[in-house]
């Protein structure tokens, strides 16, 4: 009985650990867009210059119509931006904390819209990569006895 | 008398350690020819030590149980690769990705180890060749699963993992998101040599576990089974179960070791990463002075250092001596397989000598008995 309990306990611990790893290790790529957005008939114009910082490190310097990128692990993501609306203008700092949807690999965040305090559905969308265009097959396994190899 | 015995001792030492000594000589000759800086060489050795040591440690337990060199460790490697395909597809990055891959590999390795162990129990005395052939057989099953079932029956979402035809996994899986995550954790730099402390700590912990395991009841049983199966059976040890457990443990450890190995490489050759790993690990262990029936943790580390130093030096030495790097590559491959062949021949010779010795003793005893009766 004790043996069975130990075994079940070990399996449970592994399952819980696996679950935790799946949550904390889930990787996302965040794309920052400085693009004009139309939402509910209103237009939110792109800004002259936006500097994006993640963990204090600058990851993007975006002019109008540009896109930057950062990666993160887990379901929450924080970033800071500096907005420069005019040439030689003072940068306006903003800070955002996002809760990321688990199912999205790539997440597009529209910066002009998030700055205006619009709902999440307005400024967040999924990045869908273009379907692969290559047609060539990968080199598939053969039954040859290979000699070398990297070790 | 003393001189004679010390000479005999020296000869015995040379005989017992001929393979490591040969490698030390080759390395000593190659180092000045190649002219690599000590920092470069040390960096390479430390990287390869941290990459391979865990995998080679997985070979120790079956040797302890008298099952020889477990070529079936390839099964663990396949389990690790399947686990890494899943974690890559699920986009689990960094250390969590490595831990998750290890957790997923455990049940797959355990089932494959169980299957391998059952077959090896039915092929007592021919474990090595049987495990070698099992690895080929399982390679076919692995290809069936990865090439045809993944993406069609087993869900694979990402197109960068799937073949363009829509099912099957590409020949190379990108592990950039977990690349060196473990090696970079707690890494320190000593005199230009980067030491992956977390990986080394895991390897040290594994060594301690093996030392501890040898002293447990199960470990003692394995040693008893390794020495003489019939005596162990007579002593009440469940020989088949003990042997089975040793193979399961070895396969599971090989799976964990393969995750460590691949996180260091940062790229996985889906259909070939596992195929050579057993051979190279066994060669490294034998180079370290181990034999089919005896291996220690010391043999693992000496083997990794010597075998991989030769791997680093051989292509460059080949290029310098013959002007052709491929010659060095051939040389290292020739030496790898050669070492395994020599070790197997030495093991068989030793076994036959022992058998012949026992036969002679029996004959002598019978003669003496006959004289007494007469």
What are the structural domain ranges in chain A?
A: 23-126
Does residue A147 register a pLDDT over 60? no
* Per-residue pLDDT reduced to its tens digit, A32-72: 999 999 988 889 999 999 999 999 999 999 999 999 999 99
Beta-carbon separation of B92 and A140 below 8 A: no
Interface residue ranges in chain A relative to chain B, Cβ cutoff 8 Å:
14, 17-18, 20-22, 24-28, 71, 73, 105, 129, 131-132, 134-141, 146-151
* Per-residue pLDDT reduced to its tens digit, B340-362: 787 778 777 877 887 788 888 88
For residue B207, being part of any structural domain is answered with yes
Work out the pLDDT band at B3, boundaries 50, 70, 90.
Answer: low
Q: How many C-alpha atoms does A23 have within 13 Å on its Cβ side?
A: 7
**Phi, psi (degrees; rounded to nearest 5) at A28:** -130, 150
Q: Which residue has the tokens 């097959």?
A: A137
Write out chain B residues lying below 8 Å of A133, CB-based. none
Token reading at B373? 């009766």
For residue B187, being part of any structural domain is answered with yes
Task: Please state the pTM of the whole predicted model.
Answer: 0.88
CA dihedral B245, B251, B253, B256 (to 10 degrees): -140
State how far the Cα of A89 lies from the Cα of B175, in Å rounded to an integer: 43
More confident residue, B35 or B56: B56
Beta-carbon separation of B100 and A21 below 8 A: yes
**Average pLDDT over chain B, rounded to an integer:** 90
Beta-carbon separation of B100 and A26 below 8 A: no
For residue B62, being part of any structural domain is answered with yes
> Which DSSP state fits B149?
I
Q: Label residue B136 left, alpha or beta by phi (over 0 means left) and psi (-120 to 50 means alpha).
A: alpha
Which residue of B96, B170, B265 is in closest CB contact with A21? Answer: B96
Work out the pLDDT band at B2, boundaries 50, 70, 90.
Answer: low
- Confidence (pLDDT) at B374: 41
For residue B334, being part of any structural domain is answered with no
Mean pLDDT of B71-93: 95
Q: Domain count for chain B, please give it.
A: 1
For residue B261, being part of any structural domain is answered with yes
Work out the pLDDT band at B328, boundaries 50, 70, 90.
Answer: confident
What ipTM describes this predicted complex? 0.85
Q: Strand, coil or helix: what is B214?
A: helix
Which residues, 6 or more positions from B196, have their beta carbon under 8 angstroms from its beta carbon?
B46, B47, B50, B180, B182, B183, B184, B185, B186, B187
Domain A23-126 matching CATH 3.90.930: the answer reads: no
Beta-carbon separation of A149 and B308 below 8 A: no
Write out chain A residues lying below 8 Å of B92, CB-based. 21-22, 25-27
- Residue in chain A closest to B137 (alpha carbons) equals A143
Residues 14-43 of B with CB under 8 A from A: none
Does residue B92 register a pLDDT over 60? yes
Structural domain for B263, as ranges: 39-297
For residue B348, being part of any structural domain is answered with no
Residue B60: exposure state from Cβ atoms within 10 A (0-12, 13-18, ≥19) = buried
Write out chain B residues lying below 8 Å of A141, CB-based. 143, 147, 171, 271-272
Q: Label residue B266 left, alpha or beta by phi (over 0 means left) and psi (-120 to 50 means alpha).
A: left
Residue B302: exposure state from Cβ atoms within 10 A (0-12, 13-18, ≥19) = buried
Which residue of A136, A140, A146 is in closest CB contact with B147? Answer: A140
Work out the pLDDT band at B34, boundaries 50, 70, 90.
Answer: confident
* Per-residue pLDDT reduced to its tens digit, B51-60: 999 999 999 9
- Is B132 in the A-facing interface, judged by CB distances under 8 Å? no
Work out the pLDDT band at B289, boundaries 50, 70, 90.
Answer: confident
In chain B, helix, strand, coil percent, each to 5? Answer: 75, 5, 20
Which residue in A7, A15, A19, A21 has the most chain B C-beta atoms within 10 A of its own C-beta, making it the best mutation to test that interface? A21
Q: What is the CATH number of the domain that holds B160?
A: 1.10.3470
Beta-carbon separation of A136 and B90 below 8 A: no
Nearest chain A Cα distance for residue B271, angstroms: 6
């Amino acid at each position: 009985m004790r043996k069975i309990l130990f075994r079940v306990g070990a399996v449970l611990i592994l399952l819980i650990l696996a679950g935790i790893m799946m949550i904390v290790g889930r990787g996302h790529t965040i794309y920052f867009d400085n693009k004009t957005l139309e939402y509910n008939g209103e237009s939110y114009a792109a800004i002259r210059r936006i500097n994006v910082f993640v963990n204090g490190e600058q990851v993007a310097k975006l002019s109008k119509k540009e896109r930057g990128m950062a990666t993160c692990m887990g379901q929450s993501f924080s970033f800071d931006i500096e907005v420069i609306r005019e040439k030689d203008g003072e940068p306006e700092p903003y800070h955002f904390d996002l809760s990321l949807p688990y199912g999205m690999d790539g997440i597009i965040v529209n910066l002009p819209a998030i700055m205006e305090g619009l709902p999440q559905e307005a400024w967040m969308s999924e990045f869908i990569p273009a379907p692969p265009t290559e047609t060539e097959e990968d080199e598939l396994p053969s039954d040859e006895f290979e000699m070398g190899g990297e070790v | 008398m003393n001189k004679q015995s010390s000479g005999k001792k020296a000869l015995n030492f040379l005989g017992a350690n001929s393979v490591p000594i040969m490698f030390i000589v080759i390395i000593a000759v190659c180092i000045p020819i190649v002219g690599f800086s000590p920092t470069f060489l040390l960096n390479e050795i430390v990287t390869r030590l941290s990459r391979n040591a865990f995998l080679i440690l997985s070979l120790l337990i079956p040797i302890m149980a008298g099952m020889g060199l477990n070529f079936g460790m390839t099964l663990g490697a396949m389990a690790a690769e399947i686990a890494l395909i899943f974690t890559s597809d699920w986009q689990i990055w960094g250390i969590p990705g490595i831990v998750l891959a290890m957790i997923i590999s455990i049940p797959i390795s355990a089932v494959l180890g169980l299957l391998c162990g059952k077959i090896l129990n039915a092929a007592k005395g021919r474990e090595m060749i049987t495990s070698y052939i099992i690895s080929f057989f399982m390679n076919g099953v692995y290809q069936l699963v990865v090439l045809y079932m993944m993406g069609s029956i087993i869900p694979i979402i990402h197109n960068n993992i799937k073949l363009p035809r829509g099912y099957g996994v590409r020949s190379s899986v990108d592990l950039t998101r977990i690349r060196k995550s473990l090696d970079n954790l707690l890494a320190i730099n000593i005199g230009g040599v980067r030491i992956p402390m977390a990986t080394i700590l895991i390897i040290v912990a594994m060594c301690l576990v093996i030392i501890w395991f040898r002293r447990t009841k199960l470990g003692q049983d394995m040693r008893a089974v390794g020495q003489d199966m019939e005596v162990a059976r007579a002593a009440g040890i469940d020989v088949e179960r003990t042997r089975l457990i040793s193979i399961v443990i070895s396969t599971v450890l090989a799976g964990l070791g393969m995750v460590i190995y691949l996180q260091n490489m940062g790229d996985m050759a889906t259909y070939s990463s596992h195929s050579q790993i057993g051979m190279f690990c066994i060669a490294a262990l034998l180079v370290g002075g181990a034999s089919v029936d005896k291996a220690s943790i010391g043999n693992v580390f000496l083997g990794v250092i010597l075998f991989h130093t030769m791997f680093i030096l051989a292509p460059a030495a080949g290029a310098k001596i013959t002007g052709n790097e491929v010659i060095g590559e051939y040389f290292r491959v020739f030496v790898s397989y050669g070492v395994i062949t020599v070790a197997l021949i030495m093991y068989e010779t030793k076994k036959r000598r022992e058998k012949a010795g026992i036969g002679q003793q029996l004959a002598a005893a019978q003669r003496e008995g006959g004289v007494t009766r007469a």
